[in-house]
Amino acid sequence: MKKINSKNLCPFIQSKLNNQDNDIIPIIISYKDSKKMTDGKISSLSTKLNRELPIVNGYACEMSTEAIREIIRDPNIEYISYDTKVFAVMDIARKTVGADRIPRSGYTGKGVTVAIIDTGVSPHLDLIYPHNRIIGFKDLINNETVAYDDNGHGTHCAGILGASGYCSKGKYKGIAPEVNILPIKVLDDNGNGKSSDILSAVQWIIDTKEVHKTRIINFSLGAIAEFRERKDPLVKAANKAIENGLIVVAAVGNSGPKRNTILSPATSRYVISVGALDTNKTPDISDDMIAKFSSRGPTIDRIKKPDLIAPGVNIMSLSHKTLDNYTALSGTSMAAPIVSGAAALLLNSNPNYDHFDIKRILINSCTKIKAPSYDQGAGILDLSKLFS
């Protein structure tokens, strides 16, 4: 059988085809133009059509290698990628980034909605009392309609972002304690999911942004960056969200200290990508260091990442197991919602800020530590410089 060498196939699928494996593969097909999408042809060739993905002008489906050989001949196809696996990657943290000084500014994130694409969010008292700030819910795993979290990762991130501190008497208050939370469940009880579900989640956020007044998307998850930026489905979705007026923050991943380990969609040159800082359990940054696990840049496209860093080691936040308990977790997943919270505060100060305004202001507020730029980007987020 003739070898396949196509720029429109990701390396994994190309390898499968050239090895003559007769497998069924979960794939994402993107078309050059939405008008050229041919649902009938996809349906006839796929063993399972999972969902339409207008955000990348395409579909998620399962297809045999033989069928992929046939459909790749279509000149309207831009790219076929493997539907990659996606995975989930407060007192001292607040002081480290200067959040303890924010009350003087009066900004709390009130009126700003942050979409958290994660494992879901449980109704912890710090989020629902004195009034419920979980203002909606979308479940792409089990299709439930009432917010829940069977893993805990999303609830923890929501607390870092916006816990009121009610159950801890303010000790574990989030960065933006009056922000609205919009959880979208795309990861299962083990913290695993599919890229195609992330794409659907981003499309849903864009479609409903006026309903929920959504301004920010927090990605405390990612996939191994296997594609160049312009072909990566997750990057394309994140960039489309930015084009549609949303501010996008993403964790860089926990694959450090090796270089070239930034996860997608944090690999996007536009996304605000966040690495993790180890505070050494003190608010003084003089003894701070990059968390060993924090992914390092550059990206496949030689883009310098992360953009900045925030505390991500032993961060105390909400537990999904009870209405009033807290737990400690570590990861760049914990650092990202600190930055999302900071973005919400900035929107309080000026609702007309767009993604690029927020990114520039955050980067300019950072303080460098002794570490390479591919480890820390612009440095540690310092909110005291924004709200002094």
Count of Cβ atoms closer than 10 Å to residue 260 Cβ: 15
**Measured distance CA(382)–CA(388) in Å, rounded:** 10
**Measured distance CA(72)–CA(29) in Å, rounded:** 10
Q: Does 153 participate in catalysis according to the annotation?
A: yes
Which phi and psi (to 5°) does residue 233 adopt? -60, -40
Cβ atoms of 347 and 249 closer than 8 Å: no
Closest CA to 311 of 343, 278, 285: 278
Give Cα separations from 115 to 58, 141, 146, 157, 161 (angstroms). Answer: 23, 17, 16, 11, 11
Catalytic residue selected from 81, 124, 153, 156: 153
Q: Identify the three-state secondary structure at position 309.
A: strand
Catalytic residue selected from 30, 46, 81, 118: 118
β-bridge pairing 180-185 and 113-118: parallel
Cβ atoms of 120 and 186 closer than 8 Å: no
Q: Identify the three-state secondary structure at position 307.
A: coil
**Measured distance CA(295)–CA(374) in Å, rounded:** 9
Catalytic residue selected from 195, 333, 340, 365: 333
Place of tokens 């203002």: 135
Q: Does 357 participate in catalysis according to the annotation?
A: no
Is cis: bond before 103, omega within 30 of 0? no
Cβ atoms of 118 and 359 closer than 8 Å: no
Q: Does 273 participate in catalysis according to the annotation?
A: no
**At a CB cut-off of 8 Å and minimum separation 6, what does 286 contact?**
none
Q: Is 1 exposed, middle or buried (0-12, 13-18, 19+ CB in 10 A)?
A: exposed
Amino acid letter, residue 341: G
Which DSSP symbol is given to 166?
G
Catalytic amino acids? 118, 153, 333
